[in-house]
Amino acid sequence: MSRLPIALACLCPLSLSAAEPLRVGISDALTSPYMIEDPAADSPPRGRAIDLARSALRRCGLDARFLRQPGKRMVQNLGLDRLDSALLLSYQPPRRGLMAYPMRDGQADPSRRMATFDYAFYIRDDSDLSWNGARLRGLEGPVGINRGWSIERDLRELGLRVENGNAIGDNFAKLQAGRIQAYAVHRQAGDLYLRHHPELKIRRLSPPLLSKTYYWVFSRGYAHRHPRQTECLWRQLPRLRAAYLPDNG
């Protein structure tokens, strides 16, 4: 028997061993510039996170279907192996039993992150609230957040109450109307939204609230069945993220 078919098989792209497109989850709370809303329901997803993922997939000879889901459902579906992976999830020890992170020395490996983003507080221009990096002074009500975002746990650890909103536009509208006194969101997303909506009389407080590192995670089932594909995708991130998701850009 000729050895040529065997040799050619070794050169085939990784996708031959994972022919079905990856089912990649994207939180429905992600907003521009990471994920751009499109009014056409059948339009393909757009945004910097999608562009980064597609570039990595091409380098690894893989394809994917991107599925927008609520954050909690996305985490549950990863644990149930109903999703193969998800973009931009922060590392939390309880999640290690549900999903696979790029690991090093028993911790998530920040060198293979998708991005690191600052969170910041936003308040109305006429607000007297002040933030010294440890305490939000003058707050009498809850802080607005995007539903399903992990910042909820961090704010509760600061002793703050939170109020979930559906998206960045919803929370900024509530803030402008005085229904919440402050809103905590990624600085890059918040600043971009305000540049596009100069009619809002809202400002950002300094210093940043905190920084969070975000990863491309995989279901444990997919990572076990396709370790080469998983490692290949993680390996692309250090060279790609500066072009698509620069830290605190």
Task: Render pLDDT for 168-223 as a digit per residue (tens, 0 to 9).
Answer: 899 999 999 999 999 999 998 899 899 999 999 999 999 999 999 999 999 999 99
- Which pTM does this prediction carry? 0.81
Amino acid (1-letter code) at residue 167: A
Say what the pLDDT of residue 32 is.
Answer: 76
Q: How far apart are CA 173 and CA 161, in angstroms?
A: 19
Backbone angles phi, psi at 130, to 5 degrees: -135, 150
Helix orientation angle between 187-196 and 168-176, rounded to the nearest 10 degrees = 70
DSSP H helices, 36-147, are: 48-59, 71-79
Per-residue pLDDT band for 38 (boundaries 50, 70, 90) equals low
Q: How far apart are CA 132 and CA 113, in angstroms?
A: 29
Say what the pLDDT of residue 37 is.
Answer: 65
* Residue 29: pLDDT over 80: no
Q: How many CB atoms lie within 10 A of CB 93?
A: 8
Q: How many CB atoms lie within 10 A of CB 48?
A: 21
Per-residue pLDDT tens over the stretch 91-124:
988 888 889 999 999 999 999 999 999 999 999 9
* Residue 28: pLDDT over 50: yes
Q: How far apart are CA 6 and CA 9, in angstroms?
A: 5
Say what the pLDDT of residue 111 is.
Answer: 96
**Which residue, among 163, 158, 208, 217, has the nearest Cα to 188 in the 3D structure?**
208
> What one-character-per-residue DSSP string does 151-214 give?
HHHHHHHTT--EEEESSHHHHHHHHHTTS-SEEEEEHHHHHHHHHH-TTS-EEE-SS-SEEEEE
